[in-house]
């Protein structure tokens, strides 16, 4: 078998040199396939198979079946060594006076128990608790959707098929003290999908004539999503490649994200501008704390 393997490897090299790349061959039932690929696959397969089969065959037929076991040595120490260790230990305990000086011993244990408390108290300095701030965003009923690039309120006609529009709530300006914190929760991406292509019933109800608004914050670890594939309506998070299907409730179709992107319910006000019809109905971003 090892000889066959050697011959197959030589045949592999010869096939690589001799067979033109564009030559095809008819193999039943595969049909017409590349002669070079076929020859390389066959010869390499035979070479590897024969090495494996030869090794197994050798082990089964020629090697001895006798099992050899090596007994463990006892790991227990000699009695004299153990006696010496006990004696040393007792002498050490006696010299340290731990047994006699009860007050010193007890206060030492007390001090060792209390000292970690200072670390616990310092935890308070990590900042105020977020309370329910992470559950709410600036979106509320009647807030206009403002184009993040032009700073203009959006009309349905501004949202073209095939493009991804980024929006923020009206009244949130870049120079605001809390801008970064608020935009990190409220950032929206808006796309227009033909209503008949929207598979999720609630998504359609929460849209305006096929215009859907979703949180731009990835539910994995919170990167902003930025890539949109018009044909499939998939959006991709560049951080770890989580992919969401915007035509099907933004459910996760690939990657480490655990949840669909939250959708914002939108409509159009009397003046023809896109507006929110409320806040998100779930926390945006990686909402691990409430989902467990």
Residues in the site for ligand FES, rule: CB under 6 A?
A: 218, 220-221, 223, 237, 239-240, 242, 255-257
How far is residue 49 from each of residues 3, 38, 44, 237, measured CA to CA in Å? 12, 16, 8, 43
Distance of closest approach, residue 217 Cβ to ligand FES, in angstroms? 9
Residues 6+ apart with CB under 8 A from 33: 24, 25, 27
Distance of closest approach, residue 208 Cβ to ligand FES, in angstroms? 27
Q: Residue 225, exposed/middle/buried by CB under 10 A (0-12, 13-18, 19+)?
A: buried
Q: Which two tokens stand for residue 148?
A: 């993040």
Between 220 and 234, CB nearer to ligand FES: 220
What is d(CA 270, CA 237) in angstroms, rounded to the nearest whole number? Answer: 35
Between 82 and 240, CB nearer to ligand FES: 240
What is d(CA 16, CA 12) in angstroms, rounded to the nearest whole number? Answer: 6
Between 168 and 220, CB nearer to ligand FES: 220
Q: Count CA within 13 A, CB hemisphere, residue 248.
A: 9
3 state SS for 125-144: HHCCCCCCHHHCCCCCCCCE
Distance of closest approach, residue 240 Cβ to ligand FES, in angstroms? 3
2-18 vs 35-61: helix crossing angle, rounded to 10:
170
Distance of closest approach, residue 198 Cβ to ligand FES, in angstroms? 23
Distance of closest approach, residue 224 Cβ to ligand FES, in angstroms? 9
Reported in sequence order, the residue ranges of 29-119 that DSSP labels E, i.e. its strands, are: 31-34
Distance of closest approach, residue 233 Cβ to ligand FES, in angstroms? 18
Q: Which two tokens stand for residue 247?
A: 């035509």
């Amino acid at each position: 078998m090892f000889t066959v393997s050697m011959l197959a490897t030589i045949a592999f090299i010869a096939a690589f040199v001799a067979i033109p790349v564009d030559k095809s061959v008819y193999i039943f039932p595969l049909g017409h396939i590349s002669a070079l690929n076929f020859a390389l696959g066959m010869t390499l397969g035979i070479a590897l198979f024969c090495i494996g089969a030869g090794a197994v065959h050798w082990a089964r037929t020629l090697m001895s079946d006798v099992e050899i076991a090596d007994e463990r040595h006892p790991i227990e120490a000699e009695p004299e060594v153990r006696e010496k260790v006990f004696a040393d230990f007792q002498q050490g305990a006696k010299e340290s006076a731990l047994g006699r000086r009860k007050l010193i011993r007890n206060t030492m244990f007390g001090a060792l128990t209390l000292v970690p408390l200072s670390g616990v108290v310092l935890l308070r300095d990590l900042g105020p608790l977020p309370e329910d701030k992470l559950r709410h965003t600036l979106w509320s009923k009647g807030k206009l959707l403002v184009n993040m690039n032009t700073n203009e309120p959006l009309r349905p006609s501004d949202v073209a098929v095939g493009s991804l529009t980024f929006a923020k709530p009206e009244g949130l300006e870049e120079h605001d003290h809390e801008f970064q914190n608020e935009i990190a929760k409220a950032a929206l991406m808006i796309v227009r999908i033909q209503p008949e292509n929207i598979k999720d019933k609630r998504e359609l109800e929460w849209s305006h004539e096929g215009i859907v608004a979703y949180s731009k914050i990835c539910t994995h670890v919170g990167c902003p999503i930025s890539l949109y594939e018009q044909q499939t309506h998939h959006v991709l998070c560049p951080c770890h490649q989580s992919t969401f299907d915007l035509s099907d409730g933004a459910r996760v179709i690939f990657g480490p994200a655990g949840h669909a992107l939250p959708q914002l319910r939108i409509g159009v006000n009397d003046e023809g501008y896109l507006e929110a019809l409320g806040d998100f109905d779930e926390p945006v971003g990686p909402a691990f704390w409430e989902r467990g």
